[in-house]
Amino acid sequence: MSEQQHELHPLSKAVRVRGDQTWQMEHSSPMYLTSSFTFDSAEEMRGAFAEENEENIYSRFSNPTVDEFVAKMCALENAEAGFATASGMAAVFGSIFALLKQGDHLLCCSSVFGSTFTIVTKFLPKYGIECTLVAANDKEAWEKAIKPNTKMIYLETPTNPQLELIDLEWAGQLAKKHNLILNVDNCFATPLLQQPLQYGAHLSVHSATKWIDGQGRVLGGVVVGDKALIREIYLFCRNTGPSLSPFNAWILSKSLETLDVRMQRHCENAMKVAQALENHPKVSWVKYPFLKSHPQYDIAIKQMKSGGGIVCFEVKGGVESGRKFLNSLQMLSMTANLGDTRSIASHPSSTTHSKLSEEERLSVGITPGLVRISVGLEFVDDIIYDITQALDKC
Ligand SMILES: *Cc1c(COP(=O)(O)O)cnc(C)c1O
């Protein structure tokens, strides 16, 4: 080894960062499947509880396997600190509730993930926290909605499932100007395609269930960002209990070692699927961030390294055609997840958004024939074949 320690690139850290090797000299990181940790003396245990040392106490607070996953996420997002949770929603919930109190106001993008929408519209008001929803790209409305008690801006880009993009540089400046916390759901882009902290976001939250696991196995979530804010989120979560299981953390940490190669192929396949659908007679429009026809293409190429693995399109003929499309698929899975090796199709207006009124659906961009494809890692010609043969039957 050279005298000077060479600083590894974040992609190498995603592969190489690990907890201490045990005396067994195992190559792959072991899984610390334990609820608690022991102490040699009352004094040592007192010190741990007083946070005088960094020793683990109980896996609801911290666990070496979970720490390894968080350390890799911090390396990839260039973040000071992070906390991992049992699901993406626990990360979203924790990052909002740990930092807001009664009387505060949250400014939130109107097209956010369904459960996030429920949290901000149904639960926040119950605890005396106000929320204003603003359309993703109505920049004037964002600024106008800011009040003296506004504390946080929450947004998602690209949005699920509409694939709308929000200019992170602009959002970062808006947050800075008004001294607000900027909290970004970075799930669709992953840390490899987009790094919100670079644009002034204070927090980046993820559903690790999606591309990070990437194989449809476990639920998980993580929030990374500003050290002082993460400390608040940690204290909130260590007491309320949505901590990530070490088993799931082990899977997710291993998954990060291949995220870069997987995302490259997901993006490559998604681009080919999007291009193949652009001229299909049964499709009225296709949306993919890296297609020139995307309404926010300029934002996409500015802040994303690649377009991601989700493609949306509108099948002609509305709800009935959407259903027919799903029923005609031979290979693609019909399932609620996304970000899997297996390609998945979903029809939001008859499933995830079926409880909304037609008007509500349209106001958040869920058109009747909207189909969302999570493009997997199968041979791309097979993915395109299945989608086009199903479209032919619509
Ligand atoms: C799935 C998802 C979530 C929620 O994550 P879970 O792991 O399912 O709790 C949050 N945000 C986005 C954008 C998602 O796609």
* Sequence spans of domains, the chain: 10-256, 259-392
Residue 56 scores a pLDDT above 60: yes
Which residue owns the Cα nearest ligand 1 atom 11?
A: 113
Mutate to test the pocket of ligand 1, among 159, 187, 337 (most ligand atoms within 8 A of CB): 187
Query: Helix, strand or coil for residue 280?
Result: coil
* CA 27 to ligand 1 center in whole angstroms: 32
DSSP lists the bridge partners of residue 181 as: 152
Q: Reply yes or no on whether the pLDDT at 2 is more than 60.
A: no
How far apart are alpha carbons 211 and 298 in whole angstroms? 24
Question: pLDDT grade, residue 364 (50/70/90)?
Answer: confident
259-392: CATH superfamily: Aspartate Aminotransferase, domain 1 (3.90.1150.10)
| Tens-digit pLDDT profile for residues 60-109 | 999 999 999 999 999 999 999 999 999 999 999 999 999 999 999 999 99
- Beta-sheet pairing, 203-207 with 310-315: unpaired
Q: What are the start-end ranges of the E strands in the chain?
A: 81-85, 105-109, 130-134, 150-156, 181-185, 203-207, 221-225, 283-287, 310-315, 333-334, 344-346, 370-374
Residue 15 confidence (pLDDT): 97
294 lines ligand 1 (CB under 6 A): no
pTM: 0.96
Ligand 1 within 6 A of CB of 164: no
291: exposed, middle or buried (C-beta count within 10 Å: 0-12, 13-18, 19+)? middle
pLDDT, tens digit, for every residue of 312-362?
A: 999 999 999 999 999 999 999 999 899 999 999 999 988 888 878 888 888
Asked if the model's pLDDT at residue 1 lies above 60, the reply is no
What is the per-residue pLDDT across 174-218, written as a single tens digit (0 to 9) for each? Answer: 999 999 999 999 999 999 999 999 999 999 999 999 999 999 999
- Tens-digit pLDDT profile for residues 266-280: 999 999 999 999 989
Q: Is the pLDDT of residue 169 over 70?
A: yes
Query: How far apart are alpha carbons 363 and 377 in whole angstroms?
Result: 33
Q: What's the mean per-residue pLDDT of the chain?
A: 96
Question: Does 206 contact ligand 1 (Cβ within 6 A)?
Answer: no
| 10-256 is a CATH 3.40.640.10 domain | yes
Q: Which atom of ligand 1 is nearest to the CA of 339?
A: 15
Report the pLDDT value the prediction gives residue 243, as an integer from 0 to 100: 98
- Cis ω for the linkage preceding 161 (within 30 of 0): yes
β-strand partners of 163: none
Distance 47 CA to ligand 1 centre (A): 37
